[in-house]
Amino acid sequence: MKTIYKNRNAEAEKLREQIKKYRPLSDNLLKQIGEYYRIELTYSSNALEGNALTETETKVVLEEGITIGGKPLRDHYEAIGHSEAYSLLFEIAKGKGIKEKDILDLHYLFYYRIDKENAGRYRKEKVIITGSSYLPPLPDKVPELMKRFIEGIPEMRRKYHPIKYAALLHKEFVGIHPFIDGNGRVARLLMNLALFQEGYTITIIPPIKRVDYINSLETAHTKGDIKPFINFISCMVYESLEEYLRIIGG
């Protein structure tokens, strides 16, 4: 049975206001929360793309530097690379906008251990999204499409509610699919960067929601109906805010 997601922007706003009452948080608590979400976002974002590391294994790899027997080396590289990109996200968030260099740097940190030649560089090959009927643009179109995408970010930010803006940022970026690999993970980092700059917390898309996530994106790309995806993201933001409030209030 298909899950129908309602828009929860207004409810998310109320949670964000509740969270403000707990601020400022102590440096120690902020550090602990930051590390908690480093594991959560790295695990969930990688798992959505088929990474075999469990949440506990991801924690061991990142905190202890231990490889997990029987798991692919690439999965370890993805965990370490995503962790480094996560750190950069907070540095970028100190600024007011999102630049092309920010996107390229996020991809480079995530991908350079896997394929240094293509890390932080737009693809030169045609790509196919497995399980989707959507065909990304040809590689020669990518630089111009990315230029327009970057130039359009300030207007999107002014025009839309922060959650819709972040969701559209994700959707438009994935639609271009500018890199040979790692587009989904960079899209989720961008979405979180946008949310964080607007005063929201890190948003997690649990692997258990993978089918709903992919289906709503597919609908946006192939049918032009963005409402299911925006509603889905609004629910993920709401649930993540609830979790954050539980952590700092409980």
Q: CA–CA separation, 122 vs 136, rounded Å?
A: 13
User: Is the Cβ–Cβ distance between 84 and 189 less than 8 Å?
Assistant: no
- What is the arithmetic mean of pLDDT over 72-86? 98
pLDDT by residue (tens digit) across 202-236?
A: 999 999 999 999 999 999 999 999 999 999 999 99
Structure tokens at 199: 């005063």
The pLDDT, as a whole number, for residue 49 is 97
pTM of the model: 0.96
The pLDDT, as a whole number, for residue 1 is 65
Indicate the domain borders of the chain: 9-249
pLDDT for 33 beyond 80: yes
Q: Is 177 a catalytic residue?
A: yes
pLDDT for 250 beyond 80: no
Q: Could you please report the per-residue DSSP string of 13-70?
A: HHHHHHHHTTPSPPHHHHHHHHHHHHHHHHHHHHHHTT----HHHHHHHHHH-PPPTT
Write down the catalytic residue from 76, 107, 170, 177. 177
Cβ neighbours for 146, distance < 8 A, ≥ 6 positions apart = 100, 103, 122, 176, 178
Question: 9-249 adopts what CATH topology?
Answer: Fic-like fold (1.10.3290)
Amino acid at 209: K
Cβ neighbours for 86, distance < 8 A, ≥ 6 positions apart = 37, 38, 41, 42, 189
Residue 249 pLDDT level (bands cut at 50, 70, 90): confident
- What is the arithmetic mean of pLDDT over 41-58? 98
The pLDDT, as a whole number, for residue 74 is 98
- What is the arithmetic mean of pLDDT over 169-193? 98
Residue with tokens 């707990």: 22
- Using a pLDDT cut of 70, give the percent of the chain over it: 99
